[in-house]
RNA sequence: GGUGGGAUGCCCGAGUGGCUAAAGGGGACGGGCUGUAAACCCGUUGGCUAGCGCCUACGUUGGUUCGAAUCCAACUCCCACCA
């Protein structure tokens, strides 16, 4: 993996760069659509290519349970399996420690958990998380971490962060021992909403040394201000010449906030999930396609949007498809929302390269949040 | 023509004397969703009122009863089977 920062915005920490991975090059800041089970829900690999997605996520926990690592290995890796030739990043399953907490037991050794599919018992250690992700074959793999719940008192957050740190050391060791090809390993900063912990975690990770660094444990229920603070504290410590990945973010405004704070990579289920649930992103703000006022609106969702959906279909049609429970609604809505996020990323990129990111962000938010900026 | 069954809120449908402005669906209306157990989840859905509350409602009309969607009678309409 190679990463080089090509432009820095003079008004903030935003930067734009190029990340070279085994399966291709990614221009940053980048939005990575989430394809948990080796599919970005409702889209095919050719859809993603057409939309211009440069890298997508997959999830080690989910793929380990189904179809299983052996199947992926036999397929020739996740890229061949899903016929996607561009980069892939896998999350380790650390987030499932958080989201499926009632099925887990976490110890210093690792995570004992029951499958949400059939209740069968399994164990993830930092070492097995590396082995699994090596089998899946993504371009970037993540350390096993403990995504700390919110709110977390200082002592709890400290203990959780130190566990993540200990696991990061073990992941690094295993990754170096078994290193295959040029899979890159990212460490993950935890520490909840505590500045001292964020700083300590980031410093320690940098000391261990990783090709890239992620900021995790964010967007788990804290407010936007607390999220921004956690990101800022973490990013401030991370080395300039390594990519920074903000995990699970975000909403369009949070995405721009992250970029402003110097983050390069983002992933979020919001555009895909919201699309399936009827909320669509437009330059003029969120549109709930279920609302009665769209039923006879024969104009496009967003007249400025270059996506294949806005080019061809009306709000009235999208409204009808959604109400009727048609499967096409999910697909068209997802195409649009993913296109929206990719567009936003590429416009942010251009703005940074022109040295006017803050201006761009303010203009975007004014339109997105409405005249009042609420 | 005969026998039996049935008519409940926008729709379907439960409810056989008081705890019923009436279960449960659906639809409609609105909201939520941030490293995906999510094509999911939550709220509202007779009228008036800030609220206490009042009014109007279970095919129609009348009756029994302290009290009826629930019991009785007649009527109207629907369905099934038999001729």
Catalytic residues of A: 91, 267
Residues 231-290 of A with CB under 7 A from strand B: 247-251, 254, 267-270, 272-274, 276-279, 286, 288, 290
Range A50-75 burial, b when 16+ CB lie within 10 A, else e: ebebbbbbbbbbbbbbeeebeebeee
Nucleotide nearest to A293 (CA to C1'): B29
| A289-CA/B45-C1' distance, Å | 20
d(CA A133, CA A355): 38
Copy the structure tokens of residue A180.
């295959």
In sequence order, the 6+-apart residues with CB closer than 8 A to the CB of A286 are: A279, A280
Give, in Å, how far the C1' of B22 lies from the CA of A323.
29
Cβ < 7 Å from strand B, A residues 123-142: 142
Residues ≥6 apart with Cβ < 8 Å to A171: A126, A127, A129, A130, A143, A144, A185, A187
Give me the interface pTM, i.e. the ipTM: 0.92
Predicted confidence at residue A129, as pLDDT, reads 97
Residues of chain A with pLDDT under 70: 180, 371-374
How many angstroms is C1' of B8 away from CA of A290? 31
What's this model's pTM, rounded to 2 decimal places? Answer: 0.94
* Contacts (Cβ under 8 Å, ≥6 apart) of A103: A113, A114, A115, A116
pLDDT tens column, A162-205: 999 999 999 999 999 998 678 999 999 999 999 999 999 999 99
State both tokens at A131.
């082995």
Instruction: Return phi, psi of residue A73, to 5°.
Output: -60, -45
A338: nearest Cα among A26, A47, A89, A18: A47
């Amino acid at each position: 993996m190679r990463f080089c920062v090509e432009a820095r915005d003079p008004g903030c920490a935003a930067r734009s760069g190029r990340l070279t991975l085994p399966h291709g090059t990614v221009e940053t800041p980048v939005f990575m659509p989430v394809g948990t089970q080796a599919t970005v829900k409702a889209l095919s690999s050719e859809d993603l290519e057409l939309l211009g997605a440069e890298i997508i996520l997959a999830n080690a926990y989910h793929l380990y349970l189904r179809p299983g690592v052996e199947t992926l290995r036999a397929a020739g890796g996740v890229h061949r399996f899903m016929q996607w030739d561009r980069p892939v990043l896998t999350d380790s399953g650390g987030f499932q420690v958080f989201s499926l907490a009632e099925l887990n037991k976490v110890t210093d050794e690792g995570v004992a958990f029951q499958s949400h599919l059939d209740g069968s018992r399994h164990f993830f250690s930092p070492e097995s998380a590396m082995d699994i992700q090596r089998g899946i074959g993504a371009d970037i793999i993540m350390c096993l971490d403990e995504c700390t719940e919110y709110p977390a008192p200082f002592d709890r957050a400290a203990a959780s962060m130190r566990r993540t740190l200990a696991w990061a050391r073990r992941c690094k060791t295993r990754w170096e021992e078994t290193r295959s090809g040029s899979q890159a390993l990212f460490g993950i900063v935890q520490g909840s909403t505590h500045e001292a912990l964020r700083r300590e975690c980031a410093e320690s990770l940098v000391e261990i040394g990783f090709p890239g660094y992620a900021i995790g444990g964010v967007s788990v229920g804290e407010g936007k201000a607390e999220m921004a603070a956690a990101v800022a504290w973490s990013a401030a410590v991370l080395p300039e010449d390594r990519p920074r990945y903000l995990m699970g973010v975000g909403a369009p405004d949070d995405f721009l906030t992250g970029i402003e704070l110097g983050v390069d990579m983002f992933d979020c289920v919001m555009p895909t999930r919201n699309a399936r649930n009827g909320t669509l992103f437009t330059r003029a703000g969120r549109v709930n396609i279920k609302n009665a006022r769209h039923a006879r609106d024969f104009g496009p969702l967003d007249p400025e949007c270059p996506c294949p959906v806005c080019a061809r279909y009306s709000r009235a049609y999208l409204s009808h498809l959604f109400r009727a429970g048609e499967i096409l609604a999910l697909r068209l809505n997802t195409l649009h929302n993913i296109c929206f996020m990719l567009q936003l990323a590429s416009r942010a990129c251009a703005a940074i390269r022109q040295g006017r990111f803050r201006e761009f962000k303010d203009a975007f938010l004014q339109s997105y949040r409405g005249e009042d900026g609420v």
